[in-house]
Amino acid sequence: MLLRSGDVLDIYVEPFIHSGFRLPNQPYSYYYRSLFSLHNETLSVWIHLLGAFVLIGQIFQHISQLSIHSYSTILCIYIIYNCIGACIMLLCSAQAHLLHSRTLADHLRSFYLDYFGINFYGFTSGIILYKFSHTTEYDNTNETLYYIILSLLSLYSLSIACFCKTFYCRPYPFSHKILQCSGVLVVYLFQIWPVLQNLILSYSKQEITEHEQKALVWHLLQFISFILSGLIFVGRIPERFCPGVFDLCGQSHHAFHLTIFLMAYCQANAVFEDMLSLPSNSIQYNFSKDLFFTLGVLSLQLITVALWFRISRPAIERRYKIHLKE
């Protein structure tokens, strides 16, 4: 049994989606079983679930190719590290769309974990791009400063997303989407700007290796995927023009999930080609430092999520108190 948009709390409803909503307040088993039935979140969940399996398969492909060229244990570790960050993002997104419509508490918890996954990947991706895709010479002071700024920006982006969920009410004004996207955009531009400079300067280079050329193509594809994901997320096309028609299949959020997966897939391929293009002695690896910052950011982001959940849950439950009684 599926419900119409008027039968559920408006916090569960996306604009221009009129049907395909699951029953609220059911046991968790009901939502897990809904993985295998058609509703308006089915494709959103499965695109990122399957995407995580594709990225895991990509690890084995890259490591097998690496062994053919110049096998390095530390490079394998960074390949796995990059995949873990991307898979956390995809799996956090999948669980959010699977469980968010159960209760208000589940809705907040699920989407705050979704925001955490996005920004944790923003941090791990930034580490990987700095190590292998930025052409600046290694400098420990610059690296530490880069890590600190990246950490602060990821925490800012996470807090902005939680703030928007807490203090904006549906129907959301356009400023909600702009503010929500601004944090992610700042994190992405901070880490991708040196790569974009490489793309522009590559046209003036006389000689470029095969791996460098492939890396630039994959970087361009990941940048295009990111831009498309943002435009799709904000524009809500095609359901904006045909409300109710694309509820179960073809709505913008399905395309948004697909472009996010493609961005992570292209980024992993780009970084791998960058790894192959670099001389083995050109990079100084300090994985213990990277792991220290990663665990620190992981802890701070989870604390941020817990704090925002404690702040927002009472406020939002008060907002929907009358509806909950009904």
The verdict on whether residue 97 carries a ligand-binding annotation is yes
Question: Which secondary structure element, helix H or strand E, spans residue 21, and what is its range?
Answer: strand 19-21
Alpha helices in the chain (DSSP H): 28-33, 42-69, 73-99, 104-132, 140-167, 174-201, 210-235, 252-277, 287-319, 321-325
With 0-12 / 13-18 / 19 or more C-beta atoms within 10 angstroms meaning exposed / middle / buried, residue 37 is exposed
CA dist list (Å): 295 to 72, 85, 268, 276, 302? 24, 12, 21, 27, 11
Tell me the one-letter amino acid at 153.
L
* DSSP-based three-state secondary structure for 24: coil
Q: Which residues pair with 21 in a beta bridge?
A: 3
The verdict on whether residue 254 carries a ligand-binding annotation is no
With 0-12 / 13-18 / 19 or more C-beta atoms within 10 angstroms meaning exposed / middle / buried, residue 168 is middle
Alpha-carbon gap, residue 114 to 96, rounded angstroms: 6
Tell me the one-letter amino acid at 118.
I
State the DSSP string of 45-111: HHHHHHHHHHHHHHHHHHHHHHHHH---HHHHHHHHHHHHHHHHHHHHHHHHHHHTTS-HHHHHHHH
Alpha-carbon gap, residue 253 to 242, rounded angstroms: 15
Q: Which residues pair with 3 in a beta bridge?
A: 21
The verdict on whether residue 257 carries a ligand-binding annotation is yes
Which residues are known binding-site members?
A: 97, 253, 257
* Binding-site annotation, residues for Zn(2+): 97, 253, 257
